[in-house]
Each structure stands twice: as C-alpha cells, then as structure tokens.
Amino acid sequence: MSFIRKKMLALLAASLVLLGLPAAAFASGESSPVEVVLDGAKLQFDSPPVIKGGFTLVPIRKIVEAIGADVKWDPVGKTVLISKQGSTVQLKVGDKKAFVNGKAVTLDYEATVVNERTLIPLRFVSESFDVLVDWENATRTVYLTSLDSEPGGFDYSGVTLASVRDSNVTPSQEIKYDKLVLISGEGANEKKVFVKFDLSSFQGKKIKKAYLHMFSNETLETNSERTITVNKSLRDWTGGIDWRTYDGARNWDSPGAAGAGDEVKNIASQTVFRIIGWEPSWFIDVSPTVRAWADGTAPNYGLSLSFDRYFSMIGFPVSKLNPNLVPTLVIELDDYDAGNPSAAYSKKIKTGLDFIARKYHMLPWGDDSIGILNSQYNLGKLGFGDAYTANVRNYFDYFVDESGAFRRGAVPKASFYNGVFGSLLLDLYKDTGKENYLTAAKTIRASYDTLPRLNGLFTENDVIQAELTFLGLDFLARYGDRLADSASTDLAVTQAIALYDKLTALEKDGIPATIIFADGKTIGKGWGRGIGWYFGGFGKLFQYASVKSHPRYAELESRYKALALKIARYQDSSGLWRNIIQDPASAFETSGTSLIAIGYEYGVNAGVLDKKYAKVVDRAINGLQRYSKTGAEMSQAFPSNQDLVYTYTNYSNTRKSYGFWFELLTTRERNGRKI
C-alpha cells in the first residue's frame, strides 16, 4: 500500500472518529467509496465528499437542499447563506468561523471550494440542522437522519393535558348495549348475536363517527384469528327472538335471519389476531348505520353479528378478564371544525383521559396492564384527581393483602416480568408509607435471586428476551436507588450492558435481535414492540442517581446512545416505527412506537441524549394521535406466528397499545414538557 493511500485512510478514519463514527471502518484493504444516505435516500454528488485535515467535507448545496433549506451564494464575498424555518447559517470560504442565528461558532475545517463546489464539515451539518449521523461499517455508509417534524404534523406546543381536560371540546361518548341476545340453530356453527343500542340521547345530534367496540369472552387458541361480520337488522326483534322467529311468533324470511328481508348483510367486518394469552378486541366502523338511526332516516332495529368460526360472543355477557369490557358504541360528535387540528387532537386526548379513569379501573395481573397503571399513577401525580391514583391503589389492594402477601392470582410464578409491578409498589410505599406495599416489593426482589439465567442473563421460558430492561431492570434500579441497595443497582447495570452485547453481537447492522435461545439462535430481529420494551426500559435507567454513579456507567451510556442513534434512523415519516423497524413494508407498531419514544423521553430528560432527540418524541406523539381514531382506542399489529415472522397485518385494539400511548404522554408532561 502506498504512503499516500495509507495517509488518506488514516485521515478518513480520524474524520469518522470526530463524527462519532468508528475508525475501524477504514482499516487497511478497504477501498470502496463511502456512501451518504439521507432519510433513506442515497445522495448522488457531482463532486464527492473529500478528506481535508482529517475531516470529512461534503458539498453544502446538495446536503442542505436535501433537508429542505435554501442556499444563497455571494460570489463577491465568497459567502454562503443558508436559511430554514427562521434559522440562518452564514459562512465564508476559507474561514473557520461561521454564524448560526448570529452566534459565532468555529468549524472543524474551513469551508472549501473543490471542483467549483463549496464543501463544509459533515459534523457541522449535523450540529446546525438537527441531523443525526450514523455509520454502518458493513456497507461503508453514512446515514443522516433529519429530525424535522413530518409534513402535516400538528404543532402542539403549549398544549398540556390539563388544558385539554379543561377545554370545551366534547370527548367521544360510549354507550353500553341495551339488548344482547344469542340465538342458535341445530348446527354447531349456527349461531348469531343480536345487539341493540338506545340512541335516544343522540337524537338531533350530528354524529361524525361511530364504532362498535367488543372484547373476547374466552381464551382462544394460540395464533388464531377471528373475523366478525356486522349486519344491519331489518326486523324489530324482541326478547323472544330465536333461530326461526324474530319475536317468538313471526318467522324470519330464512332461519337465522338469513333472508334478504331480515338484514342488510356485511355492512362492516374486521379480522383480528390473537397470540398467547392476549385478549383480542374489535373496533368496527358502523358510522353510516348509526347516523341513520340517530337522525331518524332509518329505524333502529340493531345489529346482528356473525363469525367465520363460532366462539363465545364478545362480552356475552361480559369479558371474563374485565367486567367493564362489554359491547359498546363509541360515538364521536361532529361538533368541531374539522380543519382545526388542535380541536381534533384535544378531543382524542380528552376522550383518552376519560377512558383511562373510568373504563380501566380493574385489570388482570399481566404486563399488558402496566401501561394503563403507569398512566393512571402519572395522572394522579399531575394533579388530575384521586380517581386515577385510586385505580392504582385499588388494583394493588386487590392483589396484595395487609401483610404484603400476594393473592388472587398475582405473581403466578417467579419471573422478571413481575418487576414492572414492583416499581409501582415502591411508588405506592413512598406515597403512603404502607408497609405491605414494601413487603410485596421485597418479595419480588427476592425472587430475582433464584431466577434462571442463560449466559448470566435472566430468562423467561428458558430464553433471553428484550423485555428484560422494561419489565425487570427498571425495577432493580429503582429498588437499589430507593432502598440504597447497591447489589440491586449493580445487577440492573450489569444485566443491561450484557443484554445489549448479546442482542447485538451477531447483528452487523446494529439492529438488535429480541429473543436468544440456549443454542445461541436469535429471532425477532428488529421486532418493533420488542425493541420498544428494550429501549424504553433502557432509557428509564438514567433517572436514577445510583445508576449514574455506578462504576460501569460510561459503558451503559455509550451503548444506550449507540442504540438511540440506530433506532432513530428507522422512524417512519409518519412518526411511527414499524412491526419490523427496518422493513418499510411491515405494518406500523403503535405499542412499540410508544415504548421507543418513552426510551427517548427519559434519555433527553436525564441529559444523556442531546435535546435534538426531543423531536423524535414529538414525531412519535404526532403519529400516534393521528393513528387513533377517537382517543378511545389504539390498535397494534400482531405477528403471524410464534417464530416472530412479522407478516400479519390485521390489527386489534389492546390495553397494551392504549396504555403505553398514555404512559408516553403523561411521562412527558411529568418531565415538564408539553404533550
């Protein structure tokens, strides 16, 4: 290798170090050019990036125009003026001094003209225009991620949860069924459900949207899907309805209301997917039918529901997991200016505040309840009233007796999943001083001493899971911080470092796997919700002083920052992340988006991440509020099978996705930032 070539490689390596990129990328023998990708699009330069003084210089016009800025060139003064959204940058060729919004800054290397193109240091681009810079060694590519709000995003600066609560917008309203009847024929699958809603209170009101909201009444087999078809009844059925008659005397045109005069078939349908023990639910748009009932243009004879395969009817009579989950209509009134995004946003959030307090006041013991519980606790801390904190206290008083022993199915087995409840128990003990909460938290902590491990890491069902940080390590860190237990803090930090190393060890592009088996096989690479569990819990660790004073803190922080940089690259322009974050064809993953944004929110609040990352959170909140139809629900995509091959695109509204959305909003506000 020539002296000149060695020198150039050394300079290029040095420039990448200064950009936070690995010098190893330019080891001896690597001669392929460096590519630059901005927001997923490869940039083509007529004058390629060059190395000057150990710094990477890029053509300024190509870069800044690509991120939406204007560039003006003064040939007389050899000065470049860049402007974007009220911000200005001025620099002069040959001068290391530049001015950003009138403030002097010093460049790593002066602006330079090469092949009639003005080049500036790449790091200056990142620092001046809120652009993240990431290096991928495997492909020798510099990835630039701009953090501008996406087109059409709502500027909610100044909007708070309290201002939404006190606004004059009307939240979406929920009404329970008035009549609910199951009829059966002779065949095993000859079953149909009839449901009717009393809409007398909506007479004369203009309805914008109406959704039929239902929940499963029984546990379905693993990896199953169910389709519900909604039909509009044309008969004034009564309590005497059966398979042959609609009132005990008068016959249907065809048994089972199958005739043309019995119902308008398939006015809507929805297929949802169920995996493991999660309770599926349906949120079906029936707006035209409900509008016609309310304005009197059609008689309200209710709906009939049929199924691709029979199963115990949704909420018939109620959900087994939660007696509050029965068939309802969620109705949004058309009482605001559709062109006013602030009103639309406030209506959704106000609806959510109502549902979080009223609908979810007793939940099963499981990780899919924790987002709602955390939201309720945060809202209590924000001064929204005892209705929210009472839900949390009542929940734990139901599962924990006065001695601190668990009961009624709580902590069914030793598992790091229980740690997420231990965190709230520590909070309740801090707030109330009740010893039974502390005793219960100590019981959960003691269980970690005997939990199974694989390669030193805690396991669940004999595998290493990305969920560990959110569900387990945050509790250990909080326990160590609150009770001055250095062993717990050490366990949280060392497990977090080891988990990062294991999940990314075999992934050349830095996108973590989310499950590791005993034989070393990994699956779930880039799974959105798994990444969310992982990164959200990672971010939470930085709120604890004992973690920041740990001897290995620098190792922890460097890994978290590397992961933050990597994940931001895959945020969609909508603000959401996908079911597989690196696959632009996969479905959006809302619970994963909320959890990932929570991880960024904690990092920014702790001062670990640059404040520019707050825009990542802003974009996520924008995307989530647009994705929810009414504020009463948040759906999420499910994987197609237990091998975590994420190709299934049907959606189901879940407590998990709904709860983490509001945990994000309430965490952000508790941190002193607007929603």
User: How is 76-139 classified by DSSP, letter by letter?
Assistant: TTTEEEEEETTEEEEEEBT-SEEEETTEEEE-SS-BEEETTEEEEEHHHHHHHTTEEEEEETTT
CATH topology of domain 3-146: Copper Amine Oxidase; Chain A, domain 1 (3.30.457)
- For 394-423, what is each residue's pLDDT tens digit? 999 999 999 999 999 899 899 999 999 999
Secondary element (H or E) of residue 473: none
Comparing 130 with 516, the larger pLDDT belongs to 516
Predicted pLDDT of residue 247: 95
- For 191-205, what is each residue's pLDDT tens digit? 899 999 999 999 889
Q: Which residues contact 588 (CB under 8 A, 6 or more apart)?
A: 572, 574, 576, 577, 578, 579, 627, 637
Residues forming beta bridges with residue 132, ordered by sequence position: 145
Q: Is pLDDT above 90 for 304?
A: yes
Q: Are strands 55-59 and 70-74 parallel, antiparallel or unpaired?
A: unpaired
What does the CA dihedral 421, 425, 428, 434 come to, rounded to 10 degrees? 150
Distance CA(280)–CA(219), nearest Å, equals: 9
Please identify which residue in the block is written with the tokens 């206290």: 393
Predicted pLDDT of residue 635: 81
Q: Which residues contact 208 (CB under 8 A, 6 or more apart)?
A: 287, 332, 333, 334
CATH topology of domain 341-670: Glycosyltransferase (1.50.10)
- For 57-76, what is each residue's pLDDT tens digit? 888 888 888 888 888 989 89
Predicted pLDDT of residue 19: 40
Secondary element (H or E) of residue 590: helix 590-605
Secondary element (H or E) of residue 348: helix 341-358
Indicate left, alpha or beta for 372 from its phi (over 0: left) and psi (-120 to 50: alpha): alpha
User: Is 352 in contact with 631 (CB distance < 8 Å)?
Assistant: yes
Predicted pLDDT of residue 25: 37
Distance CA(95)–CA(112), nearest Å, equals: 9
Class of domain 170-333: mainly beta
Secondary element (H or E) of residue 508: none
* Over residues 282-287, mean pLDDT: 93
Distance CA(257)–CA(245), nearest Å, equals: 8
Q: Are strands 281-285 and 303-307 parallel, antiparallel or unpaired?
A: unpaired
Distance CA(183)–CA(239), nearest Å, equals: 11
Percent of the chain whose predicted confidence (pLDDT) is above 90: 56
Q: Give the confidence band of 642 by pLDDT, cuts at 50, 70, 90.
A: very low
Q: Which of 33-42, 206-215, 439-448 has the highest mean pLDDT?
A: 439-448
* Over residues 485-504, mean pLDDT: 97
Comparing 565 with 368, the larger pLDDT belongs to 565
* Over residues 317-336, mean pLDDT: 76
Instruction: Supply the mean pLDDT for the chain.
Output: 86
- The dihedral of CA 151, 154, 156, 161: what is its sign? negative
Q: Give the confidence band of 650 by pLDDT, cuts at 50, 70, 90.
A: low
Phi, then psi, of 100 in degrees rounded to 5: -110, 110
- For 7-24, what is each residue's pLDDT tens digit? 333 333 333 433 434 333
Going by C-alpha positions, the residue among 634, 540, 655 that lies closest to residue 589 is: 634
Q: Are strands 651-653 and 635-637 parallel, antiparallel or unpaired?
A: antiparallel
- Tell me the Cα Rg of the chain: 28
Annotated domain spans of the chain? 3-146, 170-333, 341-670
Q: Which residues contact 238 (CB under 8 A, 6 or more apart)?
A: 246, 247, 248
